[in-house]
A and B are shown apart, each in its own frame.
Chain A
């Protein structure tokens, strides 16, 4: 595929008369097996190659994309991108492309993932369904295999090629009032164990019998890694230097200052082989280790190429998520406070007030009530409205950081005074 992409790049270079261009090619080959209520309901397979060309005549830009690679289509791609640019108004924020950049060597892709076939994926689902039948429950979920290849070149000489393979599996088991979910994604399928995942599902499921209702209000929460990661994804969305400096985010004037709790450390890394880390970001910036928050201090924020140039800094993007953990077990966390709840997951997180950094959401996949260091019973779900950076100032404990997704390592966190504003009806 790399050679095929390179040749397509040569063709575009020959045809393109613009002052500058960036050609990006995305190839993906995906298999998805979706199951619901103990049976397979969808089964999808296919591949696709998309060519995206952004050209510039001076500072007039235009972009076109296609998913056909015959000569006529390539000519059309170049023609359309150039026609848009020539008819367009100048963009005062356009900056030219980069030249050659040194990239890290390509990671070797896991053979076990590449060679995973449909039969084996269905075998895995069969284990999950048989387990659910044994528990007189219903399981629903999806198994996915992805192969991604990505090539980028610019008129000024940047060339980058990257590959990634992934296997992911998620499943929700439900019986009457109890429903809970587990999910995982890994680069190397040989490191994945369906048996272990079923055990995790069963452990969660068994802990959630007959949920009781308790009052809303502020209380300590032990947020398990999957739940915390859901919230952090939204932090990444808003953690932009430009928005902060324009006054529309909570981070205005906070770069270089302590704004989060001192126990909170967040960074992206290229050094951990189990974490996926692209060789370059979508704007062609080579990735490197970068710290975002150190002991609560904001040390870097995400920034695109235009704004980075304006500020005289390097562009930066949160390409994976690592939060430092600690040594606390859940048992130890429970003993640090009188009472509280343990959350498996969060759901439907949306901003309430972008400037304040306030988010809302619900709990999902099971909530456990604890008191005097022990889990007492499961409880029904809550709605919460909470400010993330404020919540990190109320961290009382951190568990060991674990891999939650292919691109995230996050610990269990004990927050004090988490703001539950409503109890739900189930």
Chain B
């Protein structure tokens, strides 16, 4: 903390209006097993710091992995020069920072067993067993298991007087079986995303049972038929599938930097513009989207964001109406006098923090309702589990999604598996077509660890959640 204070004092002595420094120490372990061959067993250790200087309404950011006093001075001066140069072409007359107070605090991801303390052989043995189980099925020709574990220690200090120590952890197991026949190949995955939790997550589950199910369904899928043309039908989507649709069609459009056009050149902008706040019917009346960076096991839950703003919980959509955005100190100030919702996050020490999707979930329904009840109540529909193909335009309006497993529903019964199913919809049609959401018992979380955004690109993480939900009258059909 002494060195951090030294950097901030240097920034102030140069005349910075505001400055902050983040020191990151990231430790990542990755094990990748493909058909019983360990393609990658690695540990990556990254250490460094980034300094942001705000001067006359413009940012400068410089980073280094040398924590000596001389390097700190050099890096602060570099960030200052960049801020001066940025100030030549000011955004909207100059960026502003929303007010914020100072905090001195420590945050730790709650966990019981540190996955870095678990012997490598225990991890590899488990992965081998899962792979062996999947390859034990005759038609399974490829079996993959990827285990990612990450620990991040971060120190943050700002000229507001904030001093934070943030220690986060997450774990992400993913495996996939691919079935091959003479004319086709189809995969089925176990993929719940990452969770901010320790190794206990791995000990609490029966992985071999899941591996068998994945392999069986991959075989079922490769032998399944597809649908011919596109028709309007009911869709029942499971929580793992919904995590992706929520991410793409609600999370990204309500990032305030996109709304302001800051991502216009690459990721794109948003249809959910400020004049729609409080009025726009984003979804039907049963649709409520909650942003919650205090969510237990949430990947965006870290106590504070990289502006030093505390994690919060708020409604993005309430009773179907667009309420608010995910924001940062420099984006929210463009809308007036509001306070930041604390969504500014950088992935690595060398990344400039950007407006990120918070943990975001669809609230479960109030009435008692199970996925089986939904199926029984559906005459003609498709039930989709897990995630597949996904593509959405740069305004976040028009999209097409696939899935990982598909079932045809006829007269209230799941009648047969299907493959190669895609559906097309748009905002606001899609979320306004929701007529039923299962209750809290069927709520599931999915952690996203690969959210690409920004120039230069960063890979962010957050958690989504939902209970199984029904959509009416959506265009669904088979691919070519």
Binding site for B on A (CB under 8 A): 30, 32-50, 54, 61-68, 76, 80, 84-85, 87-89, 91-94, 118-119, 122, 125-126, 129, 138, 140-142, 144, 170-172, 174, 179, 181, 246-248, 347-356, 358, 360-362, 364, 381, 383, 385, 387, 419, 421-422, 424-426
Contact = CB atoms under 8 A, between A and B. Distances in A.
Nearest to B29: A84
Given A80-B43, A141-B265, A142-B265, A43 B391 contact: no
A170 B265 contact: yes
A82 to B, nearest CB: 12
B269 to A, nearest CB: 8
Given A61-B38, A385-B479, A424-B398, A87 B121 contact: yes
The 6 lowest CB-CB distance pairs between A and B, nearest first, are A39-B91, A63-B42, A46-B63, A140-B264, A93-B37, A247-B180
Interface in B3-17: none
Given A45-B79, A88-B41, 13 more contacts: A35-B89, A46-B63, A64-B42, A64-B43, A84-B42, A92-B37, A94-B37, A118-B81, A126-B88, A362-B394, A383-B400, A385-B400, A385-B422
B227 interface: no
A66 B27 CA distance: 10
B237 interface: no
Contact of B95 (A41, A45, A361): A41
Contacts of A424: 393, 397-398, 426
B117 interface: no
A358 B64 CA distance: 43
Given A88-B38, A347-B394, A383-B400, A68 B185 contact: no
B85 A119 contact: yes
Contacts of A87: 119-121
6 contacts: A36-B265, A138-B261, A140-B263, A144-B456, A171-B265, A422-B398
B453 interface: no
Contacts of A89: 38, 121, 124-125, 128
A143 to B, nearest CB: 10
A271 B120 CA distance: 46
B38 A248 contact: no
A126 B89 contact: yes
B141 interface: yes
Contacts of A54: 42
Contacts of B37: 91-94
Nearest to B43: A64
B203 interface: no
B89 A129 contact: yes
B358 interface: no
Interface residues of B, number: 80
Contacts of A350: 389-391
B58 A48 contact: no
A43 B86 contact: yes
A61 B178 CA distance: 26
Interface string B368-394: 000000000000000000000111111
A131 B64 CA distance: 35
A422 B429 CA distance: 15
A54 B400 CA distance: 41
Contacts of B398: 362, 381, 383, 422, 424-425
B89 A348 contact: no
Nearest to B122: A87
Interface SS, A side: strand
B312 interface: no
Contact of A43 (B85, B394, B480): B85
Given A68-B47, A92-B37, A93-B37, A246 B180 contact: yes
B416 interface: no
Nearest to A351: B389
Nearest to A250: B185
Given A93-B37, A426-B397, A248 B178 contact: yes
B78 interface: yes
Contacts of A118: 81-82, 85
B89 A419 contact: no
Contacts of B390: 350
A63 B42 CA distance: 4
Interface of B: 36-48, 50, 58-65, 75, 78-79, 81-83, 85-86, 88-92, 95, 119-121, 124-125, 128, 141-142, 178, 180, 184-187, 260-266, 269, 350, 352, 354, 389-395, 397-398, 400, 402, 420, 422, 424, 426, 455-456, 479-480
Contacts of A347: 393-394
B89 A125 contact: yes
A46 B82 CA distance: 11
A355 B391 CA distance: 18
Contacts of A49: 65
Nearest to A66: B45
A419 B422 CA distance: 15
Given A41-B95, A48-B48, A65-B44, A381 B393 contact: yes
A68 to B, nearest CB: 6
Given A36-B265, A63-B41, A89-B124, A356 B479 contact: yes
A253 B93 CA distance: 61
A81 to B, nearest CB: 8
B291 to A, nearest CB: 23
Contact of B264 (A37, A39, A46, A93): A37
Contacts of B121: 87-89
A248 B185 contact: yes
A47 B424 contact: no
Given A118-B82, A383-B424, A41 B91 contact: yes
A124 B147 CA distance: 44
Contacts of B269: 174
A347 B399 CA distance: 12
B58 to A, nearest CB: 6
A66 B26 CA distance: 10
A61 B41 contact: yes
Contact of A246 (B81, B91, B142): B142
Contact of A67 (B47, B58, B60): B47
Contacts of A351: 389
Nearest to B61: A44
